[in-house]
């Protein structure tokens, strides 16, 4: 193995979601997640790290350059040394980061060091661990104790999935929460052969015992149609050290001729009588297309020994089967009249994107509907929001009035290049811009410019709030050789050099290594964009993983077949990875 140094400038600059939405390159954001989401449950840590060193931690280049294959040779980023530039001609050692990898060349550990100019040594500061093994994920954040000369775990997060991507374990621990107290929780799940969740147990961290203590759990049983037939809630008795039933429900279901749920009868366990007592009855009705048009709930009256109608909901649909109206009613027990209390309205475009939503609550004082919440959205052909408008209810005019609007522009690969926020100016009867964010990217999808502006209403022009430029140079193998970080100086209205990084790589024969590549002719994925299923052709005994824009693993499928259901995922851009033998294939997927 041959070690050598590639002089490269690479600094983290965390680019948060501009205004209300920011589609950052998945390749870059996935690396950031390995460090940042090590403290998903303690995100202020990442902010403190930025503030302490007056740098913007960028997810830009590390992922794309941390591991790169070229033929049978691969390059792996092992460490980064950062120089700070007090002036254009003066530099000083500032920061060092060391990376460790697993067998598939994913970064598992990132260790950050401060430079001590007096002793000319590196001082450990923080460490992030991010380990993925099959369906198991482990993240931890540590700080260095200078007196004990050891790492102290500040927070950790563990999550395990089954082969269908369902949660088996979620563990979240913090040495100090927002209030400065030690806390944690642990959840465990079990499923039946049909994928129904039959157990959820919840434990809390006991500071004195330094152990997980049971708190509550929920058990369920299901019929062959996936309907709940039994639900039991427990709480932990700390005196007797065992589970005690708090509530028990059983439900019987009746289906119509089309196999749709028509009736549900739910009984609750009466602990005093040690017998089941009637509780609720639900009735469901459908249209000719099998869509739910109404559901009503009745409560058992123990005095009259009869069912009393209690509430109902009614639904209307457009020609594509999208719900466009939802009405909720309560029944007046004295007059037996239905009284509406909530209304929801929806509109959709031809691609099924929700373009309009409005919610109303019934105001008995004025005997009319009063608006509660409303927004409108516009989408591009990839299903990404380009305009989002929000409204408030004017009680005097009984109408919606404009409040805020956000506009988004994307490049051809779905990265957010421009975001503009507006407030409604009632006196001018028009939208007034308040802020905007601009981003530029190179052909390798690494960010080269991030700029934030505020609108000066008096001068009628944009004023720079923050602007950072990244100058990147690559070698013939696609490794980043130089990345110079420039910040905008408001006084001189010019960029000034702030930081430079030097990247230390390992170069080795890749014949026995893992190849991380884009999809080639061997594996085909279609359609893209898609709203429900993706077809995969050419994968052999492969594992599939999908990641969202924050780098969170949203789906894991072992021994992936030709069809993968992604209908449960929210709309947006995802990174699909297929692990086959010694190769990792990647592909961006747009979920509509």
Q: What is the dihedral of CA 410, 446, 587, 170, to 10 degrees?
A: -100
Q: Give residue 13's pLDDT.
A: 28
Residue 346's φ and ψ, nearest 5 degrees, are -135, 155
Determine the 3-state secondary structure of 581 from DSSP: coil
| Each residue's pLDDT tens digit, 70-106 | 555 667 888 888 889 988 888 888 889 998 887 777 7
Do residues 342 and 362 make contact, with C-beta atoms less than 8 angstroms apart? yes
Q: What is the average pLDDT across 467-487? A: 85
Q: Give residue 59's pLDDT.
A: 32
Banded pLDDT at 183 (limits 50, 70, 90): very high
Do residues 447 and 417 make contact, with C-beta atoms less than 8 angstroms apart? no
Q: Give residue 582's pLDDT.
A: 66
Q: Which residues contact 555 (CB under 8 A, 6 or more apart)?
A: 165, 544, 545, 546, 564, 566, 569
DSSP state of 181: -
Q: Which of 80, 96, 34 is nearest to 59 (CA)?
A: 34
160 cis-preceded (ω within 30 degrees of 0): no
Q: What is the dihedral of CA 76, 82, 87, 90, to 10 degrees?
A: -90
Do residues 528 and 590 make contact, with C-beta atoms less than 8 angstroms apart? yes
Q: Give residue 359's pLDDT.
A: 97
Portion of the chain with pLDDT greater than 70, in percent: 83
Q: Which of 528, 551, 572 is nearest to 384 (CA)?
A: 572
Residue 139's φ and ψ, nearest 5 degrees, are -125, 140
Do residues 575 and 547 make contact, with C-beta atoms less than 8 angstroms apart? yes
Stretch(es) of the chain classified as CATH 2.60.40.1270: 514-592
Q: Give residue 41's pLDDT.
A: 32
End-to-end CA distance of the chain: 46
25 has a pLDDT exceeding 60: no
The residue ranking higher by pLDDT, 522 or 468, is: 468
470 has a pLDDT exceeding 60: yes
CA distance 10 to 446: 11
Q: What is the average pLDDT across 557-579? A: 81
DSSP state of 585: E
CA distance 199 to 191: 7
Q: HSE on the CB side for 394, CA within 13 Å?
A: 9
Q: What is the average pLDDT across 394-416? A: 94
462 has a pLDDT exceeding 80: yes
| Each residue's pLDDT tens digit, 328-347 | 999 998 999 999 999 999 99
CA distance 279 to 276: 9
Q: Give residue 73's pLDDT.
A: 62
The whole-chain average pLDDT of the chain stands at 82
The residue ranking higher by pLDDT, 541 or 31, is: 541
Q: What is the average pLDDT across 355-372? A: 95
118 CB-contact burial (10 Å; exposed 0-12 / middle 13-18 / buried 19+): exposed
391 has a pLDDT exceeding 80: yes
Tokens for 412?
A: 């051809």
What homologous superfamily is domain 514-592 in, according to CATH?
A: Penicillin-binding protein Tp47, domain D (2.60.40.1270)
Q: Give residue 555's pLDDT.
A: 86
Cβ atoms within 10 Å of 339's Cβ, excluding its own = 12
Cβ atoms within 10 Å of 558's Cβ, excluding its own = 15
Q: Which residues contact 562 (CB under 8 A, 6 or more apart)?
A: 535, 536, 537
263 has a pLDDT exceeding 90: yes
β-sheet with 533-537: strand ranges across:
524-526, 533-537, 563-565
């Amino acid at each position: 193995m041959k070690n050598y140094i590639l002089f490269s400038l690479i600094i983290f600059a965390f680019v948060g979601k501009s205004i209300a939405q920011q589609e950052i390159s998945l390749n870059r954001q996935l690396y950031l997640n390995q460090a940042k989401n090590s403290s998903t449950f303690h995100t202020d840590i990442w902010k403190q790290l930025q503030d302490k060193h007056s740098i913007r931690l960028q997810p830009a280049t590390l992922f794309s350059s941390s591991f790169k294959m070229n033929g049978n040779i691969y390059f792996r980023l092992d460490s980064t040394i950062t120089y700070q530039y007090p002036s254009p001609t003066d530099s000083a050692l500032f920061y060092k980061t060391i990376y460790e990898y697993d067998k598939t060349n994913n970064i598992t550990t990132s260790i950050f060091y401060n430079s001590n100019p007096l002793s000319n040594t590196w001082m450990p500061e923080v460490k992030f661990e991010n380990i993925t093994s099959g369906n198991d994920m482990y993240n931890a954040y540590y700080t260095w104790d200078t007196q004990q000369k050891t790492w102290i775990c500040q927070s950790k997060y563990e999550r395990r999935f089954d082969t269908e991507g369902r949660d088996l374990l979620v563990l979240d621990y913090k040495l100090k929460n927002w209030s400065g107290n030690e806390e944690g929780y642990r959840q465990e799940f079990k499923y039946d052969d049909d994928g129904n969740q039959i157990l959820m147990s919840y434990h809390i961290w006991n500071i004195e015992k330094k152990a997980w203590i049971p708190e509550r759990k929920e058990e369920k049983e299901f019929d062959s149609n996936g309907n709940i037939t039994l639900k039991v809630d427990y709480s932990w008795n700390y005196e007797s050290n065992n589970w005690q039933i708090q509530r028990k429900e059983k439900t019987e279901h009746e289906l119509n001729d089309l196999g749709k749920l028509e009736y549900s009868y739910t009984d609750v366990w009466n602990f005093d009588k040690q017998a089941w007592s009637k509780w609720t009855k639900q009735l469901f009705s459908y249209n000719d297309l099998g869509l739910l048009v109404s559901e009503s709930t009745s409560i058992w009256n123990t005095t009259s020994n009869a069912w009393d109608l209690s509430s109902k909901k009614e639904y209307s649909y457009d020609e594509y089967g999208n719900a466009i109206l939802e009405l909720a009613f309560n029944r007046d027990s004295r007059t037996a009249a239905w009284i509406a209390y909530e209304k929801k309205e929806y509109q959709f475009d031809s691609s099924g994107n929700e373009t309009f939503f409005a919610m109303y609550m019934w105001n008995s004082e004025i005997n009319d509907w009063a608006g509660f919440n409303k927004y409108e959205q516009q989408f591009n052909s990839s299903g990404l929001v380009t305009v989002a408008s929000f409204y408030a209810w004017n009680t005097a005019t009984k109408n919606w009035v404009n409040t805020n609007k956000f506009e988004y522009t994307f490049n051809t690969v779905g990265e957010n290049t421009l975001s503009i926020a507006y407030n409604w100016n009632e006196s001018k009867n028009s939208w007034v811009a308040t802020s905007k964010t601009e981003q530029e990217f190179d052909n390798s999808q690494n960010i080269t410019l991030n700029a934030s502006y505020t609108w000066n209403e008096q001068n009628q022009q944009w004023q720079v709030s923050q602007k950072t430029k990244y100058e990147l140079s690559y070698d013939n193998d696609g490794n980043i050789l130089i990345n110079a970080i420039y910040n905008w100086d408001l006084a001189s209205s010019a960029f000034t050099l702030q930081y430079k990084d030097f990247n230390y790589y390992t170069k080795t024969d890749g014949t026995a290594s893992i190849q991380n590549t884009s999809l080639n002719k061997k594996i085909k994925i279609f359609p893209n964009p898609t709203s429900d299923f993706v077809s995969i052709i050419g994968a052999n005994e492969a594992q599939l993983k999908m990641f969202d824009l924050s780098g969170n693993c949203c789906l894991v499928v072992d021994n992936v077949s030709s069809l993968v259901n992604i209908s449960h995922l929210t709309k947006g851009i995802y990174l699909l990875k297929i692990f086959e033998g010694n190769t990792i294939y990647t592909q961006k997927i747009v979920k509509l």
